[in-house]
Structure 1
Amino acid sequence: MGRAVQRPFIGLTAATAALGMAAVLTGCGATGSGDVTLHLVAADYDVSGGQTSKVYWEQLTTAFEAEHPGIKVEVQIESWNDVDRKVAEMVEAGNAPDVAQIGAYADYAADGRLYAADQLLSVPVQSNFLVPLTDAGEYKGTQYGLPFAASTRLLFYNKELFAEAGITGTPETWDELAEDARALKDSGVRYPFALPLGPEEAQAETLMWLLSGGTGYTDAVDKYAIDSQANISAFEWLRDELVKPGLTGPVAPGELNRKDAFAAFTRGEVGMLNGHPSLMQAAEKEGVDVGKVELPGREGEAKGSMGVADWIMGFKENGHRKEIGAFFDYVFSDANVLAFARQNDLLPPTVTASEAMEKDPEHADLREFLHALPTSVLPPVGKTSWAAVSETIKKKIGKAMEPGGSVAATLSEIDGDAAEAEAAE
């Protein structure tokens, strides 16, 4: 997709009517303090180096300002490589933006720098977020992170390579997945199952397998439990049934980064891997006939699937609570949420926008992702320790797949590091 936004932006009144609600919204109306300028720092989602993110925010803020003459919005777009660091530098210098659309919120919430969601949003808007995203946006039981864009992961497979290998169905258990990978290898596929556990995004690939194996990174009371017996068993299966038999391709999983695995899939060299909507679009543009199903569990349906989200938040520093609230109520109208999701091949973070996208024939290829998101599990982004734990996973998890490596020892080492980081929260 990657096109500039051309759909009309709707105002707060129209958005509320679309939701069938007539509540008095907390953020709208005159500010009572003259003109206010909000400083927004936002991430650039245009992977092709274009201007679609800039155009999106320009159109949205122009329409917002027309309906809220007392509020101006100054937009600063930064690349994903820089945006989190630049916001951190602004905050450290005592010059926090009013609004930041970035990758993490927990540290700022822990420092008391953010407005809570119920201080900013009208009740209809706050209650419209998908439940897993609301839960992931909470720090110590209070929501500070507002989910701006979402995605989930599915098992992708190359239909042409499946047909050439004589595979007529899709895997419904881990054993069937391994059997299909063997058939793909026998037919000459370079990467029967691409398993990217390299340092780029190993924490995501790891979580997908842990969830499909029955647990995840945390236990029932939200404490790290990375070396649980279920997690050890899941990774021992990966090592013994996929890696050791040579079913993961010529690059060791600990050295294979996601971007390289995805590039190989678009070249038609990968039989199966875990992918997201943007990869689907990229592969189809290169002529790959993409199939997609949910990653199976060990004995059948997986016990959980992974979701991800990016966040938008309001900083307290300048005292612009009402103005930020008005802006957020506008940002999360169905039309604006859908425009951004459609532009970037992402999933809407709200119930009503998700329902609208699911009904849209233009986006029929996203329905499997939409179905998976409401019951997905996100990484523990509400923990201030998560950034450090995520880096530890990226650096160390690949060792579990090395010849002579110990899954139990590797997960125990990571869990020990996580416990130390958690104790320092």
Structure 2
Amino acid sequence: MRSSSRTAAFALCTAVTASLLAGCGTTGSGGGGADIGADDTTPVTITFWHAFTSDRETAAVNQALALFHQKYPYITVNSVKGQTDDKINQAIRGGTAPDVAASFNAGNVGGWCSSGAFQDLGPDITADHVDLSGIPAAVQDYTAFQGKRCTMPWLADTFGLYYNKKLFAAAGITNPPRTMSELAEDAKKLTAFNPDGSIRTAGFMPYFGGYEMLTEHLVPSWGGHWLTPDGQSNTAKDPAFAQALTWQKNLVDWFGAAKLKTFKTSMATEQSAQNAFETGSLAMMVDGEWRTAFIKGDNADVDYGTAPMPAADDQPKLYGAGYVGGNVMGIPKGAKHPGAAWKLLKFLTTDTDALVTLANQVGNVPTTLPALESPKLTLTEDPHFQPFLDVFKNPNTTTTPAAPDGGAYVTNFEPFAEKWQDGQVPDLKAGLAQVDQQNNAALKLGQ
């Protein structure tokens, strides 16, 4: 899995999700017949779509499916890789939906739940007495919408700080920063410029859009909440947003926005073996837990450490927390075998061995607390990975909650943040109020 936020771009928003029900196939068995695989052992084949594509990832999925088949030998799963949200939505509209669909993009959950494009899992959860208390609150937030749970979490991305130990030692820095002031100070110590004034080594990338330096990964350090309890945009009312942007802009100004933009352009693509952190030209960065697997797979010559993202200076209780997002899985409207589909969905998202098997192979955080505590979770043997497991479990860890606009309240913030860092926003408070106004219009349209 890659980033659950921006690198797996928000797909088809309000207009599409609102129209998904038009032209959908029937629910249940698809023809009014028996729900094969629900309460009997009649052999049945179901279709499962997921977005994984690499040989390593699909092999891991197949291992988890093999465990499922051992438990339910009468259910055969036709697993189809590389399926996007666009394809899922098109299949739902065309009446050819798979029985189970998994997505990298939790941003679409609000639209899927509110439109009925994904079926309500509540009755099945209640009937099978599925205990959701083993899923952290932040994870429950991005997999349900307005009390309706139409998806379950299936592995998570958790974000933290990566730092280059060799560069730290050369700069006389002994420990990773715990506060945002320390992060800024360390970034300056670690930065080196070329004779012409351009950046040779960046201590940190504060410029939005530089790899995983995104607003949703920064704001949790101040405890920000994107939406109010009643689902309205909250960026102007919550002081965390202005505080986070002010910190960010001060560091951008120290570097020089033009210099950072040039440096950002010179950075190799994020998933490349020439990633700027892996080659040593970026001393610290915010990134997801999957980077540990990439560094190992790329045979990168970098001596590094990982830690939680620093917290705002006046909120030390937030140190150890961070941002979490991840894969989601549901039963689309029109699924021909919803009973068997529920068995597969419940197994893949709640069975400890299935989650641990997939997490170990893919390198993502398993999404239940029992899986995190499993002795079979070999990820715990890697000291680089442990901080992400701790962040995931932290009760102060937050997410971008599901919304009917397909997550547009976050993507709408991006162009404003870009103007802000380039000095094109004269009044931050007024600008945030305008963002809220735009977001609220999108949120209302998506309802």
Which TM-score band applies after superposition, normalised by the shorter structure?
Answer: 0.7 to 0.9
Do the aligned residues in 2 keep the contact of 1:341 with 1:347 (CA within 8 Å)?
A: yes
The correspondence for 2:186, drawn from 160, 168, 180, is: 180
Moved more, 281-290 or 407-416: 407-416
Shift of 1:186: 5.2
Letter in 1 for 2:204: F
Structure 1 residue matching 2:191: 3-state secondary structure: helix
Report the counterpart of residue 396 of structure 1 in structure 2. Answer: 416
How far has the Cα of 1:45 moved from its partner? 5.2
Aligned residue for 2:203? Answer: 192
Question: C-alpha distance in 1, partners of 2:382/2:168?
Answer: 25
Q: Secondary structure of the equivalent of 1:169?
A: coil
Paired position in structure 1 for 2:157: 151
Quick one: which of 382, 387, 410 aligns to 1:368?
Answer: 387
TM-score normalised by L of structure 1: 0.81
Identity across matched positions, percent: 21
Per-residue CA deviation, residues 393-422 of structure 1 (Å, 9 max, x unaligned), is 333321110034344454333322211111
Q: Kindly indicate whether residue 276 of structure 2 is the aligned counterpart of residue 264 of structure 1.
A: yes
The aligned residue for residue 141 of structure 2 is 135
The 3-state SS of whatever aligns with 1:155 is: strand
**1:20 alignment counterpart:** none
Verify: 1:301 aligned to 2:316, yes or no: yes
Kept in 2, the 8 Å contact 1:199–1:254? The answer is: no
Residue 64 of structure 2 contacts residue 358 of structure 2 at CA under 8 Å; is this kept in 1? no
Alignment of 1:10-409 (within 5 A): 31-32=39-40, 34-44=42-52, 46=54, 51-78=55-82, 83-102=84-103, 103=105, 104-121=108-125, 122-124=128-130, 126-185=132-191, 190-198=201-209, 205-228=214-237, 229-240=239-250, 242-246=251-255, 250-252=259-261, 260=269, 263-283=275-295, 285-299=299-313, 301=316, 303=318, 305-331=322-348, 332-356=350-374, 360=378, 362-374=381-393, 375=395, 376-380=397-401, 382-406=402-426, 407-409=428-430
Q: Is the 8 A contact 2:205 2:282 kept in 1?
A: yes
Backbone CA RMSD of aligned residues: 3.1
Q: What amino acid does structure 1 have at the position aligned with 2:206?
A: L
CA-CA distance at 1:72 after TM superposition: 2.3
Deviation at 1:247, TM superposition (A): 7.4
Question: CA contact under 8 A between 1:253 and 1:398: conserved in structure 2?
Answer: no
Distance in 1 between residues matched to 2:58 and 2:99, nearest whole Å: 18
Q: Distance in 2 between matches of 1:44 and 1:157?
A: 28
Change (3 A) 1:325 1:267: same
Moved more, 304-313 or 225-234: 225-234
Stretch of structure 1 that moved more, 63-72 or 27-36: 27-36
Contact 1:105 1:313 in 2 (8 A): no
Task: Output the CA distance in 2 between the equivalents of 1:261 and 1:358.
Answer: 30
How far residue 246 of structure 1 moved from its aligned partner, in angstroms, is: 0.4
Q: Match of 1:245, SS?
A: helix
Change (3 A) 1:238 1:250: same
Q: How far does the alpha carbon of each residue in 1:111-161 deviate from its partner, in whole angstroms, 9 at most, with x for none?
A: 223333333343246443333212321111122220001021111111111
1:13 corresponds to which residue? Answer: none
Inter-CA distance 404–348: structure 2 relative to 1 (3 Å threshold):
same
Q: Is the 8 A contact 2:208 2:418 kept in 1?
A: yes
Kindly provide the CA deviation profile for residues 231-268 of structure 1, in whole angstroms up to 9, marking residues without a partner as x. 1122112112x110107893339966997467111111
Structure-2 residue corresponding to 1:12: none
Give 1:96 shift. 1.4
Q: Does the C-alpha gap of structure 1 residues 28 and 344 become closer, same or farther in structure 2, counting only changes over 3 Å?
A: farther
The amino acid of 1:301's aligned partner reads P
SS of 2:259's partner is: coil
**Contact (CA 8 Å) 1:399, 1:410: kept in 2 or not?**
no
- Structure 1 gap ranges (5+): 2-26
Where 2:370 maps in the other structure, the secondary structure is helix
Change (3 A) 1:357 1:325: same
Note the alpha carbon deviations across 1:12-43, whole angstroms, 9 max, x for none. Answer: xxxxxxxxxxxxxxx99764484332111111
Cα 1:318–1:216, aligned 2, differ >3 Å: closer, same or farther? closer
Unaligned runs of 5+ in 2: 2-34, 195-199
Give the distance between the partners of 1:172 and 1:34, measured in 2 at CA: 57
**d(CA) in 2 for partners of 1:306 and 1:258?**
24
Distance 2:257 2:167 in 1: 15
Whole-Å separation in 2 of the counterparts to 1:215 and 1:131 = 16
On the 8 A contact 2:38/2:339 being kept in 1, the answer is no
Distance 1:152 1:57, change over 3 A: closer
Work out the CA distance in 1 between the residues paired with 2:265 and 2:312: 24
- Cα 1:191–1:174 shift into 2, 3 Å: same
Q: Distance in 1 between matches of 2:268 and 2:70?
A: 41
SS at structure 2 position matched to 1:151: strand
Q: Are the counterparts in 1 of residues 37 and 340 from structure 2 also a CA contact under 8 Å?
A: no
User: In the alignment, what sits opposite 1:9?
Assistant: none
